[in-house]
Amino acid sequence: MNKNALSLITQKPASLGIPGLMASQASKSPGGTGASKAATAKGPWGRLEQFPFFLEAPAHLLDRFPLPNPKPRWFVNSSEASQALDRMSRSGMPPEILHAINQPANRAFHGDQIVFFPPPAALLKLDCKTRTSIYRELRRYPANADIVGPVLIPNNNVEEWFANTQIRPELIQLIKQMSYPRGDALAFSDISVLMGFVKGEAEARALVSVLTRTRTLMLKLVLDSNSKLTETKNYWSAGGQRKGHTSTSLIQAMIDTQDGEKLDIVHLLPPLPRRLLYTYADLSSVVEGEMPDCHWSSLNFFNSHPEPFYLEARLAASAFTERLIPIKPPFKFGDTIVFLDNQKGNAFHSCVYLADDVVFTKNGRNLLSPWVLQTMEHVRKTYLFENNGRIQGYRARESGTV
């Protein structure tokens, strides 16, 4: 890994990033009472049950910021505007849009960029292939926040993603119509177009809230007389590295109290991730000069008190190489999973492995990215959608390489 650079990628729309440590709102997954049970898996961690559910940003957080602009905007560097338009035209952009954005009334200069205002009706009619091609080009420009960081639907099922919400079926159908593939997931970037179909401010705010939802998991460790206690306690104590932690005694106490108990693994996490899980960063984080991101979260996983040192990209990079050594699967509790780009080996995301292919992750520095549990597959779909990198495991040097 190049220890002099870390790419700090934001995967959620920066235009919706809002200061707010704030608890999130939990939404039910389809077919369950708060969460629908997934498959049970056994391993050195014991027997785990997964319960998926959604988080939505709290209303009092969202209310601090204006609603999305109902007028679609595309940002392109002025020096590259002709080439960008040519590439989009060759990728199938309808003449109707090209003609419209070439009109003086539908373009403006903003610093060293040109802002184009494509007609919403034409965007609504784009076919999936053309939308994918155009947005692949526009993704090159960070100012296109909703395209760079779209709403991601990893399970590719729009109806399921928006089930158990108050969003009108007509709006859900429009989201489905304007969604496009990004790797193995569906993406939705046309929030501005959607704003043109809401009935009023109340519905617009409800829609924005739902569009912030993040799919996460609750993990429960099933403990009974059949549990391999020595192996399970050793796993959650990180092979004895977590000196003084109460995880082993807690597991034993649960067994002694009642056979067949289920322990939420949040109680087995170190203090900091236990406090952060399912929450959003609060305004107090701003005083450090940078908002917490994935690398800060990974490097502070075992720290009782977070090190602001890791907010700076260069210093976080040096910590990865100084504190950790590369390892191969299978991964263990507390291992750091780093996503490296194929060209220079720079880290553009990191998370912490827990068990059963589930990680503790914060997917982006922006404020609408909560700390969550997600499967490795989910995180892969978020970050490796263009086969643009690889995954490398790392472990603390004192833990060995086994």
76-90, 161-175, 261-275, 286-300: segment of lowest average pLDDT: 286-300
61-70, 373-382, 384-393: segment of lowest average pLDDT: 61-70
Note the pLDDT of residue 41.
80
**Pure H helices in 156-300:** 158-161, 169-178, 191-195, 201-211, 229-236, 247-257, 271-276, 294-299
User: Residue 278 — left, alpha, or beta (φ > 0 → left; ψ -120 to 50 → alpha)?
Assistant: left
Q: Taking residues 40-61, what's their average pLDDT? A: 89
Rounded CA separation 326/338 (Å): 10
124 exposure class (CB count in 10 Å sphere: 0-12, 13-18, 19+): middle
pLDDT band for position 285 (cuts 50, 70, 90): low
Q: Tell me: pLDDT of 38 over 60.
A: no
**Pure H helices in 237-372:** 247-257, 271-276, 294-299, 313-323
Q: What is the DSSP letter of 15?
A: G
pLDDT band for position 27 (cuts 50, 70, 90): low
Q: Phi, psi at residue 40, to the nearest 5°?
A: -90, 140
pLDDT band for position 387 (cuts 50, 70, 90): confident
Rounded CA separation 269/13 (Å): 29
Note the pLDDT of residue 239.
62
Share above pLDDT 70 across residues of the chain, in percent, rounded to a whole number = 85
pLDDT, averaged across the chain: 86
Rounded CA separation 344/124 (Å): 39
Note the pLDDT of residue 284.
67
- Which residues neighbour 104 within 8 Å (Cβ) at sequence distance 6 or greater? none
Picking from 204, 286, 254, the residue whose alpha carbon sits closest to that of residue 19 is 286
Per-residue model confidence as pLDDT tens digits over 209-268: 999 999 999 999 998 777 788 899 889 988 655 555 667 778 878 777 766 678 999 999
Rounded CA separation 180/131 (Å): 7
Q: Tell me: pLDDT of 31 over 70.
A: no
Provide the token pair at 330: 């299978």
Rounded CA separation 293/210 (Å): 23
pLDDT band for position 26 (cuts 50, 70, 90): low
Q: Phi, psi at residue 181, to the nearest 5°?
A: -75, 135
Note the pLDDT of residue 243.
55
Q: Tell me: pLDDT of 8 over 60.
A: no
Longest CA pairwise span in the chain (Å)? 75
Three-state DSSP class for residue 264: strand
Rounded CA separation 369/9 (Å): 12
Q: Taking residues 135-145, what's their average pLDDT? A: 96
Note the pLDDT of residue 62.
85
Rounded CA separation 148/195 (Å): 19
**Domain-by-domain residue ranges, the chain?**
14-57+215-399, 74-211
Q: Tell me: pLDDT of 69 over 50.
A: yes
Note the pLDDT of residue 390.
95
Per-residue model confidence as pLDDT tens digits over 155-201: 899 999 998 899 999 999 999 999 999 999 999 999 999 999 999 99
249-253, 277-281, 365-369, 384-388: segment of lowest average pLDDT: 249-253
